[in-house]
Amino acid sequence: MFEVFLKELKELLRDRKTLLFVVALPVAIFPIIFALMGFLMSKAAIEAEQKVHNYAIINADYAPEFRDKLFFHKNFKQVEGNFKSVEDLKTAVQNEVIDVGIVISDNARTTIANGKSNEWQIVFNDSSSLSFIFARIKEMAEEFSQTLQSEQFNKFGIATEQQEALLNPVVLEKVDTADLRENLGEKLGALIPYLLIPLVLAGASYPAIDLGAGEKERGTLETLLLTPISRTELVLGKFFTVLFTSLATALITVASMGIWMKMAGNFFEVEKITDAFSMLDFADFALILLLLIPLACVFSSLVLSISIYARSFKEAQNYMGPLSMLAFLPLIVAMMPNMELTMSTAMVPITNVALAIKEILKGTVDYSYVGMIFLATVVLAGALMAACVHWFKKEEVLFR
Give the pLDDT score at 185: 73
Q: Are residues 261 and 338 in the same domain?
A: yes
| Residue 196 covered by a domain | yes
| Residue 47 covered by a domain | no
Q: Are residues 145 and 204 in the same domain?
A: no
Q: Are residues 194 and 294 in the same domain?
A: yes
Q: Are residues 222 and 338 in the same domain?
A: yes
Res. 263: pLDDT tops 70: no
What does the pLDDT look like over 218-237, one tens digit per residue?
878 778 778 888 888 888 88
Provide the residue range defining the domain that includes 86.
52-167
What value does the mean pLDDT take over residues 119-125? Answer: 90
Give the pLDDT score at 45: 72
Res. 65: pLDDT tops 60: yes
Give the pLDDT score at 380: 92
Looking at residue 21, the DSSP 8-state letter turns out to be I
What value does the mean pLDDT take over residues 269-273? Answer: 57
| Residue 148 covered by a domain | yes
Q: Are residues 18 and 135 in the same domain?
A: no
Per-residue b/e over 209-226, b at no fewer than 16 CB within 10 Å?
bbbbbbbbbeeebeebee
Pairing of the two strands 120-124 and 100-104: antiparallel
Domain end position, chosen among 133, 167, 201: 167
What does the mean pLDDT of the chain come to?
81
Of residues 322 and 27, the one with the higher pLDDT is 322
Give the pLDDT score at 383: 93
What value does the mean pLDDT take over residues 169-179? Answer: 77
Res. 250: pLDDT tops 80: no
Domain end position, chosen among 145, 167, 189: 167
Give the pLDDT score at 261: 64
Res. 265: pLDDT tops 90: no
Give the pLDDT score at 102: 92
What value does the mean pLDDT take over residues 149-175? Answer: 81
pLDDT band at 30 (very low <50, low <70, confident <90, very high): low
The vertex-310 CA angle with 16 and 229, nearest 5°, equals: 80
Res. 379: pLDDT tops 90: yes
| Residue 44 covered by a domain | no
Judge contact between 5 and 237, C-beta under 8 A: yes
Q: Are residues 31 and 57 in the same domain?
A: no
pLDDT band at 298 (very low <50, low <70, confident <90, very high): very high
Q: Are residues 280 and 190 in the same domain?
A: yes
Q: Are residues 141 and 226 in the same domain?
A: no
| Residue 42 covered by a domain | no
Of residues 176 and 204, the one with the higher pLDDT is 204
As a three-state string, the secondary structure of 296-365 is: HHHHHHHHHHHHHHCCCHHHHHHHHHHHHHHHHHHHHHHHCCCCCCCCCHHHCCCHHHHHHHHHHHHCCC
Strand partners, 54: 77
| Rounded Cα–Cα distance for residues 293 and 296 (Å) | 5
Q: Are residues 6 and 67 in the same domain?
A: no
Domain end position, chosen among 113, 144, 167: 167
| Rounded Cα–Cα distance for residues 133 and 99 (Å) | 9
Q: How many domains, in total, are found in the chain?
A: 2
Give the pLDDT score at 271: 59
Q: Are residues 81 and 189 in the same domain?
A: no
Q: Are residues 308 and 336 in the same domain?
A: yes
Q: Are residues 33 and 56 in the same domain?
A: no
Q: How many residues does the chain have?
A: 400
